[in-house]
Amino acid sequence: MIKKQATGYFSLKILTRIILNGCRVLSILALFFMVSCDKINIFSRPYVATVNGAKIYLDEYQIKLNQKMSMLSKDALSNEPNYVTRLEEEVLDGMITEKIMYLRAQELNIYVGASELEDKIDEIKKDYGEDFINLLAQENIKFDQWKEELKKEMFLQKLVAVDVNTKIRVSDDEAEDYYNEHRNNYRLEARVRVQQIVVRDFDKAQEILARLKAGEDFAELATNLSIGPEARQGGDLGYITRQVMPEPLEEAIFKLPVNKISPVVQSPYGFHIFKVLDSQPAMIKNFADVKDEVVADIRAQKEEAAFTGWLNSLKLKAVIKKENNVLRKKINRQK
């Protein structure tokens, strides 16, 4: 009945973006998506590029390219004839960037231990419950394949945390200045705390409304009669802002005075009765209350800028050689 609001903050969000050729942004997680392949004779195994002497092999490149190609529609390929060429370049550039970062991690002796990986897997399984295996199956991903991808993601998070993020500082003065310049970012919208009783039958809703007007307890009736999931909490929906509830319900709620009971309101979910328990006007939150949030916002911006600079610096120092002859002769494009 309630539209879900996006919440939470991913502190390592810069790991989801990577700068290629100075302007192109790709998903790092997509770059590190790999599948297992048969053993190949390393003495005859062709490669498409080297980074400081470390090879990027043709078969690995073809796997990633084919994965990308499989996501494209035939219309996309026919409408944009140069797209495949650009995609080939992007995939190889991504693998080169991957190799640069892995070589840097080796210099710093960064690794992900077996117990550390298993703890993370347990944490993810706990979050998803029984849906975890089903989600992998829906995406046609084998567990071992996913596990390897997760290990690489953790590996890269460690690398960026050690080589980039630990060097970033945010002073109190800097945080306060940022808050004063972006006060509206910390605005708390007008909100109300509301109880609800919802039933499927209009006549039953009218009967409940009459009982409420006669003085019966709203929470008790909600617990015993409401079909909403919040019935166990006496119908308490907590605090909500505008654009959370469907429009007819929102209108009824936000024009209702505190401690007053609404008439019966119909929605696709049934027939509702509301009671507003508290009302708070829109306001700008005090700096002291949002200081941690402000610091996190500044850090996120600094981390992104620092990551881009750090990666570009590694690229400038790297000796990169693309084997264009191999690329031209041996790439098997998936049609």
Q: Where are the alpha helices (DSSP H) in 20-142?
A: 28-31, 58-70, 74-79, 83-107, 114-128, 131-138
Instruction: Please write down the long-range contacts of 162-165, taking CB distance under 8 Å and 24 or more positions apart.
Output: 162/108, 162/110, 163/104, 163/108, 163/310, 164/303, 164/306, 164/307, 164/310, 165/12, 165/299, 165/303, 165/306
Phi and psi at residue 42, in whole multiples of 5°?
-65, -20
Q: What is the mean pLDDT of the chain?
A: 85
Q: Is the pLDDT of residue 10 over 70?
A: no
3-state secondary structure (DSSP) of residue 46: coil
Answer for the pair 67, 88: CB distance below 8 angstroms, yes or no: no
Model confidence at 75, pLDDT cuts 50, 70, 90, reads: low
Give the pLDDT of residue 330: 59
C-alpha–C-alpha distance, residues 87 and 32, integer Å: 16
Dihedral of CA 100/103/108/112: which sign?
positive
Between residues 24 and 81, the one the model is more confident about: 81
Which residue is it, tokens 């400081």? Answer: 52
- The mean per-residue pLDDT over the stretch 179-198 comes to 96
Q: Of 125, 164, 145, 120, give the one whose Cα is nearest residue 18.
A: 164
- The mean per-residue pLDDT over the stretch 176-188 comes to 96
Query: How big is the CA angle at 150 (ends 149 and 154), to the nearest 5 degrees?
Result: 120
Model confidence at 81, pLDDT cuts 50, 70, 90, reads: low
Q: Is the pLDDT of residue 39 over 60?
A: no
- The mean per-residue pLDDT over the stretch 191-213 comes to 97
Q: pLDDT for 235-257, tens place per residue? A: 999 999 999 999 899 999 999 99
Give the pLDDT of residue 131: 82
Instruction: List, in order of start, the domains of the chain with CATH numbers.
Output: 13-168+299-330 (1.10.4030.10), 190-281 (3.10.50.40)
C-alpha–C-alpha distance, residues 33 and 153, integer Å: 10
Q: Is the pLDDT of residue 272 over 60?
A: yes
Give the pLDDT of residue 33: 39
Between residues 81 and 131, the one the model is more confident about: 131
Answer for the pair 310, 163: CB distance below 8 angstroms, yes or no: yes
Model confidence at 139, pLDDT cuts 50, 70, 90, reads: confident
The single-letter DSSP state of residue 16 is G
Q: Of 142, 145, 146, 157, give the one whose Cα is nearest residue 112.
A: 157
Q: Is the pLDDT of residue 137 over 90?
A: no
Of 119-123, 129-133, 214-218, 273-277, the range with the lowest mean pLDDT is 129-133
C-alpha–C-alpha distance, residues 56 and 77, integer Å: 26
Give the pLDDT of residue 141: 81
C-alpha–C-alpha distance, residues 44 and 124, integer Å: 40
Give the pLDDT of residue 127: 86
